[in-house]
């Protein structure tokens, strides 16, 4: 699979909001995460059905995670997104590194979190459909909350990212 320009893909995730693209807005963050989850599901399905190789599917997911890393860390250059001081490696990146116990530099922690999310999605779709659909929703909401700086509730269960 050839390298792709991720900017139109990321922008397409935000179309339902018609330009109100503030990274402090829960709806914006959720649309970006849902777009990523949907893209992961499509890539896994395409690989399983032989339309693309597994390597190409993984490459697609990794490139999109890298593009979203730049978006959430405020370095994407998208003029249609409003970023905040939180959207920086020394804020969001450190929060994700510490909260999820990631072994990556802060500037790569959004990408690492999203790649790990893709792994959880891949494992989830191997469950019976009613179970994985609920799991996808939970993973999406958890990632949305993490990207907004909300630590998961301590309910005694291990984080799916640890």
Q: Look at phi and psi of residue 126 and say left if phi exceeds 0, alpha if psi is from -120 to 50, else beta.
A: alpha
DSSP summary character for residue 115: H
pLDDT, one tens digit for every residue, the chain (162 residues)? 334 556 667 666 766 566 668 999 999 999 999 999 999 999 999 998 999 999 999 999 999 999 999 999 999 887 778 999 999 999 999 999 999 999 999 999 999 999 999 999 988 877 777 777 788 899 999 999 999 999 876 554 434 433
**Cα–Cα distance, 43 to 56 (Å, whole number):** 8
Q: Say whether 159 sits in a helix, a strand or coil.
A: coil
What are 55's two structure tokens? 């390597």
Q: What pLDDT does residue 95 have?
A: 97
What are 121's two structure tokens? 């999605």
Residue found under tokens 């849902």: 34
- Show me where the domains of the chain are located: 18-147
């Amino acid at each position: 699979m050839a390298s792709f320009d991720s900017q139109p893909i990321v922008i397409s995730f935000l179309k339902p909001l018609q330009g109100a693209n503030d990274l402090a807005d829960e709806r914006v963050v959720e649309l970006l995460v849902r777009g990523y989850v949907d893209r992961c599901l499509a890539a896994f399905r395409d690989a399983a059905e032989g339309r693309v190789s597994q390597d190409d599917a993984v490459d697609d997911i990794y490139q999109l995670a890298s593009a979203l890393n730049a978006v959430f860390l405020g370095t994407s250059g998208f003029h249609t997104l409003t970023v905040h001081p939180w959207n920086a490696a020394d804020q969001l990146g450190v929060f994700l590194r510490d909260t999820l116990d990631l072994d990556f530099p802060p500037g790569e922690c959004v990408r690492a979190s999203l790649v790990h999310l893709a792994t959880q999605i891949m494992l989830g779709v191997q469950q019976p459909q009613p179970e994985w659909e609920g799991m996808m929703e939970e993973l999406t909401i958890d990632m949305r909350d993490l990207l907004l700086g909300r630590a998961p509730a301590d309910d005694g269960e291990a984080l799916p990212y640890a």
